[in-house]
Structure 1
């Protein structure tokens, strides 16, 4: 950076498809476009994230990084840092955090690593200790999106505690204002008197959809007017066993699998209840979105949700892997008075603590501090 040129941030992320971390990544870059910072984005392939970044008016660099350690990828990044006049590197998720930290040491640039969930600290990850050592050495700051995740990182890694910082993921409340959205019931053939329980999240092991299926099967006989709607990309290795479980049940549950959808906000705003059945969550963007949309929330005690939901005041927390508890919470939230009180307190709480503006300010303070050194 020379003269009066704006400070340039190089943004890196592991994945290319839709998800919670990817949503945060896209929103952060979008909001930074309105500030003094210039943004350069590097992605590992085409897909949803690339499309969304282009929609912001930024042409991402697509650089392949396949392999356990891709030296060519690192060389390409180093060349880019020089040609684009990068002032600071910001990476998301473990793989990009490792490359970003190496790049920061090679180029002598400040660097921020953001960890989004338990998948980043999975014990089955190869060379995990070495990867954490690299991230610890090369990062100027290491962001955790929840206190629970910060605790996990502290327990499972040698990351320097003085570099760990908490910045909650944020949601734009204007996107999830409940309006006059309609059409979901007609699309899915759900009766007007039925209760719609929406879950948002890709179908993968940590999301706990097996327990949602169990809950729906249990309700099929006693409460057939409760319909479950699941929005998210379907990983075949996880989705196929769920369909097999449904096929083997005596009474078929009312579950509508929608796959990936662009109209998540509209679908969520047409729900009667929101359910997060996860067995592990670093945070939960979708839970915050439901609270901002004015939808009563049921979430498992899976890590992040305990920091988002005040049990009995802004939603209902249930144990993980407990379909009976899920159904009890659904029946409990059918009481209009309880629902009304919950959604008012939940929206106020989410707006105050988990808004996009709060997240942005947290990162902006850090960017300015690091680029002005």
Structure 2
């Protein structure tokens, strides 16, 4: 049995954290013995992982105040766990966890890359500094670098990461959790005080410059000018009526009666299955979880061409240039104007595409094979 220690920056709700949880939920426990270390906090995902009867260690690092004691705690924890493989997830864990694991004597270190937009306008300077440091350290620290998308791999190679250490495994999705559900459609509309026939367009993402909520509002205004009965559902961390930036933009386009800001929700499968179309206005993605979740629910997607979004959607939705919110709005209008039978057919094709390429058991199997290859031959490169 292989002992694998996963070191992740934090366990708050996010795409990387959720994917780690799904992997741990479906990994073969007769062949792999996982342990999780969170540098910062327990978050919302920590309890879910502990419920799988897996150990979770939280070091309590303060992201704003470096503390050398955290490094010593991480060092002694890794030494005591004696892992066969250390797999770090996200930049700060790659940097700190990778260095510490090497100091602790680990030879099989895997870095995890789950980000694709490295522009200064969309990232903290401190994050980009860590990325640059990691590009130098990629020659010495990791034996493999695991990316969730081809696009993210290419972006990081262009910044100086070692090309022949990369391996790509996409995100996976639980089709038994995300599926078409007509009762959800009626339930959300009743919750919002809307008629059962109301068409809903959704944007499900935390409030972050990368997700481009303000751009989506611009696209929604265009949709509203042509299809005035459409309503828009937005959900995610800080996507609520207390967000002054969002509320100001909504008021500027006179969309108050058509925008529903639901904040962070725990019933994401319910929300996804309630939508007629999912939109993604992102400036940057690696491999978008919300696209796979919506498609699993039979919901066609209209997305910006960032990361691997176009590859995920394929021919089951619409893809527009990144940053072009006029094109996003027009694509939404075009898709929403299709006959119901055509929209339903696209939704069925979307779910079939996820089942064929991104079903979680298949993806977990790819991880398992990858870990076994790393264990047998840690020095091999692509």
TM-score, normalised to structure 1, is 0.90
CA drift at 1:221: 4.5
Matching residue within 20, 23, 27 for 1:25? 20
1:315 to 314, 317, 330: 317
Distance 1:86 1:120 in 2: 32
Query: Structure 1 residue 228: deviation in Å?
Result: 0.9
Task: Tell me, yes or no, if the aligned pair for 1:146 and 1:282 is still in contact at 8 Å.
Answer: yes
Q: How many residues end up aligned between the 2 structures?
A: 364
For residue 20 of structure 1, report the CA deviation from its aligned partner: 0.9
Q: 2:307 aligns with which of 303, 308, 312?
A: 303
Q: Partner of 1:139: helix, strand, or coil?
A: coil
Structure 1 unmatched ranges of 5 or more: 1-5
Mapped to 1, the partners of 2:219 and 2:326 lie a distance apart of 7
Alpha-carbon separation, structure 2, partners of 1:186 and 1:64 = 42
Q: Distance in 2 between matches of 1:65 and 1:214?
A: 38
Which runs of 5 or more structure 2 residues have no equivalent in the other structure?
Answer: 378-382
Q: Relative to structure 1, is the Cα distance of residues 286 and 277 closer, same or farther in structure 2, using a 3 angstrom cutoff?
A: same
Q: CA deviation at 1:265?
A: 0.5
- Note if contact 1:288-1:308 (Cα within 8 Å) is conserved in structure 2: yes
**1:146 counterpart = 2:142:** no
Contact in 2 for aligned 1:291/1:350 (Cα 8 Å): yes
Q: How does 1:115-264 map to 2 (within 5 A)?
A: 115-118=113-116, 124=125, 125-126=128-129, 128-157=131-160, 159-182=161-184, 183-234=187-238, 239-250=243-254, 252=256, 254-264=258-268
Say which structure, 1 or 2, has more relative contact order (CA 8 Å, 6+ apart): 2
| Counterparts of 2:130 and 2:82, CA distance in 1 | 32
Q: Using the alignment, how far apart are the partners of 2:32 and 2:158 within structure 1? A: 35
The equivalent of 2:94 in structure 1 is 97
Q: CA deviation at 1:272?
A: 1.0
Post-superposition offset of 1:48: 0.7
TM-aligned CA distance change 1:127 to 1:192, over 3 Å: closer
| Matching residue of 2:380 | none
Deviates more, 1:190-199 or 1:281-290: 190-199
Q: Deviations over 1:31-68 (max 9, x none)?
A: 22634211211112132122222222234111023357
Q: Following TM superposition, by how much is the alpha carbon of 1:239 offset from its aligned partner in structure 2, in angstroms?
A: 4.1
What's the Cα RMSD here? 2.2
Task: Give TM-score, length-normalised by structure 2.
Answer: 0.88
Residue number in structure 2 paired with 1:331: 333
CA contact (8 A) 1:246 1:253 kept: no
Question: What is the CA deviation profile of residues 123-161 of structure 1, one whole-angstrom value per residue up to 9, with x for unaligned ones?
Answer: 73225432322244211110111111111011112x221
Match of 2:41 in 1: 45
Report deviation, 1:108.
2.8
- Summarize the Cα distance change of 1:17–1:317 in structure 2 as closer, same or farther, 3 Å threshold: same
C-alpha contact 1:203 1:233 (8 A) present in aligned 2:
yes
